[in-house]
Amino acid sequence: MSFKKHLIIAAVSLLATSHAFAEAGKAYVTTQDAGVSVIDLETMAVTGTIDVKAPAPRGLGVTEDGKFLVVATRDNGSVSIIDTATNEVLSQVKVGQNPEFVRIKGDLAFVSYEPSSKGGPPPTPGSAEAKAAAEEDEDDDKEPARIGIIDIKNGKKLREITGGPETEGIEFSKDGKLLIITNEADNTVTVHNIKTNKLVKTIKTHKYGDRPRGIKASPDGKTYLATLEYGNKFLVMNKNFKVLRTVDTGATPYGISYDAKGEKILVASNKAKLLEVFDAKTFEKIKDIPTGNRCWHFSFTPDDKQIMLACGKSDAVFVIDAEKLEVTKQIEVKNMPWGLVTYPKAMGSLDTKLK
């Protein structure tokens, strides 16, 4: 074989390898004490860290074309908009105090922020700290949280939607007209018209459980799930937000998601140190997967073959075989990993797979 043919074969092989890496994609993981770790999904190894130019990154989202990453940075009340080709911060957009969750729809980022939040973990129910906090809240007019709507390409805050006190999770209806949010401080799930900013419906959760956190729509848009951190349950609602039932979970459930087919429900139960898997039709438990410490958010990989779970106090991302439902690897990610999304986009507690 001629040297020229060898070069051609080598070039084709290199191109094929590069294409395979591009298809596998990347995972982006916010770390509360640092920046964003980037994981190559082909090798399942950390390939670098993005400096978000601000402390305490938490929520994050990636645009549908994968060109921009939006990261909430709590300590300076902003979001960082990042060019994923260069990993450089293009702009920081002021949002408001304590920005936390990020969800992206089209060219817009929806970012929750909490003017009344004092920060830090909540007190244990029934404790002296909890009673003192309750008394303080009675004396103060608790200012509701807001969802800032950011124009990603122009790096500009356009407007905001008023939520409840201490908004947590953010979800969209399948038709894209409604925003569904969980409000942990007043134990409600509220539904808002995105176009008009108007409140459409309020679902009170106290009789089922307190501190609603994660929120997820089923792939067909007919069902919504909300985790109740102080109820050790998740709430099941129909497309009209009527409560159908609750399902018991391990201690302090947080992140929740369906798989891409809508056949399974996954719940990250923080203090139980489990990723719990349920049948989405019968709600029967399929399996408990032991995990690490303070695991809140997770995502499937774009090919739906693996699940990646960020475990903050374990300084690790756990990799789980999505068919066998077994941990296959731990990736060291230091500095308190918090949120995790992938590109191409996949189902998870912070994002939804594109059709």
Give the model confidence (pLDDT) of 126-176 as tens digits.
555 444 444 444 444 467 889 999 999 999 999 999 998 889 899 999 999
User: How far is it, in rounded angstroms, from Cα 29 to Cα 176?
Assistant: 26
Q: What pLDDT, in 10s, does the model give residues 246-284?
A: 999 999 999 999 999 999 999 999 999 999 999 999 999
pLDDT at 1: 52
Q: What is the pLDDT of residue 126?
A: 56
pLDDT band at 182 (very low <50, low <70, confident <90, very high): very high
- How far CA 184 is from CA of 72, 90, 166, 266, 275, in Å, comes to 19, 32, 6, 20, 22
Round the average pLDDT of the chain to a whole number and report it.
Answer: 89
Q: What is the mean pLDDT of residues 19-44?
A: 87
Q: Could you identify the residue written with the tokens 């139960």?
A: 269
Say if CB 224 and CB 217 are below 8 A apart.
Answer: yes
Check pLDDT > 60 for residue 6.
no
Amino acid 22: pLDDT: 52
The confidence score (pLDDT) of residue 134 equals 46
The pLDDT of residue 139: 40
Q: What is the pLDDT of residue 158?
A: 97
Contact 113, 148 (CB under 8 A): yes
131 phi and psi, to 5 degrees?
-65, -40
pLDDT over threshold 50, residue 40: yes
Question: Measured at the alpha carbon of residue 295, what is the angle toward residues 150 and 279, in degrees to the nearest 5?
Answer: 95
pLDDT given at position 239: 97
pLDDT-based confidence at 355, cuts 50/70/90?
confident
Q: Give the pair of three-digit tokens for residue 333.
A: 């990610």
168 closest CA partner among 72, 93, 92: 72
pLDDT category at 119 given cuts 50, 70, 90 is very low
The model's confidence at residue 13, banded by pLDDT at 50, 70 and 90, is very low
Cis omega (within 30 of 0) for bond into 344: yes
